[in-house]
Amino acid sequence: MNFTIILSLILLSIIQGITEWLPISSSGILVVLEEIIKFEDKNFNLLFNISVHTGSLTAVIIFFKRDILGLFKNINLLNNIIIATIPAIVFGFLIKILNINIFLQDIKIVTATTLFFSVILYLSDRTKVCRTFDKHISNKHSLYIGLAQALAFIPGTSRSGITITCARYLGFSRIDSSKFSFIISIPTLFAAGVLGISDAVLNFDAEIILLLTIGFVTSLIISLVCINFFLKFIKNNTLTLFVIIRIILGLLLIFYLAN
């Protein structure tokens, strides 16, 4: 087994664990690094992406286990989470059937969406807080956030970024927006993980399974640390730092494409 490949995959897993929960775009960065590292097997790229996203899924379930159990006492919020999840499931299913995953991984698309949605994120964070999820979340709000989440299938958009952006435009606080974004990620990441697991079983290879396991465990650990950091950070800070990071990343991508 190539030691360089293992280090590269660990690096990708760390980046996934960090950026899945920050409004930066984990999939976008992973696409860029995979383009630079140039793994020959595109199918393995997709399978590895699913593996590290499953690690992130496990982390968010562990971190929000009390909130998740509490949903059974708050049927309204549970219904809204289901509503917010449906668009992503539908769009993800269509992408799978139409087999356009490879197309969506184009680095030019990543560059454009990284820059465009950084502006949208900045503007949304100027919205005044006028609602709380426990009292004011409606089916319509959840549908809007769910449709926004569906856009995250385009690398560079950022699932957390676009859902937080939508929730902020609707007048919810950064904390409420982030928590809701993280919780509605669970069904979406679970669905992607199921598809990935079926592919891994059908194409069983001991070495590949080991590499996927490394990615899963690394992403899980880093995700737990990152979720905790992010929620503490936004209590007293705006999202401007992440806007700046996205713009810098977008400019670096333009430079990379130009050369």
> pLDDT (tens digit, 9 = 90+) per residue, 160-212?
999 999 999 999 999 999 999 999 989 878 876 676 565 555 555 677 788 88
Residue-range definition of the domain harbouring residue 34: 3-258
Decide: 81 and 75 in contact? Cβ < 8 Å. Answer: no
pTM summary value: 0.84
Answer whether residue 40 shows pLDDT above 60: no
Return the closest-CA partner of residue 21 out of 162, 160, 142, 122.
160
> pLDDT (tens digit, 9 = 90+) per residue, 211-248?
888 989 999 999 999 999 999 999 999 999 999 999 98
Q: What is the per-residue pLDDT for 240?
A: 95
Answer whether residue 109 shows pLDDT above 70: yes
Q: How far apart are CA 111 and CA 157, in angstroms?
A: 10
Q: How far apart are CA 213 and CA 208, in angstroms?
A: 9
Confidence of residue 75 (pLDDT cuts 50, 70, 90): confident
Decide: 126 and 240 in contact? Cβ < 8 Å. Answer: no
Average pLDDT of the residues of the chain? 83
Angle at the Cα of 12 (from 26 to 98), degrees rounded to 5? Answer: 55
| Domains held by the chain: number | 1
Return the closest-CA partner of residue 142 out of 93, 200, 181, 173.
181
More confident residue, 198 or 117: 117
Q: If you average pLDDT over residues 81-102, what whole number do you get?
A: 81
Q: How far apart are CA 91 and CA 15, in angstroms?
A: 25
Q: If you average pLDDT over residues 37-52, what whole number do you get?
A: 67
Return the closest-CA partner of residue 41 out of 238, 203, 218, 227.
203
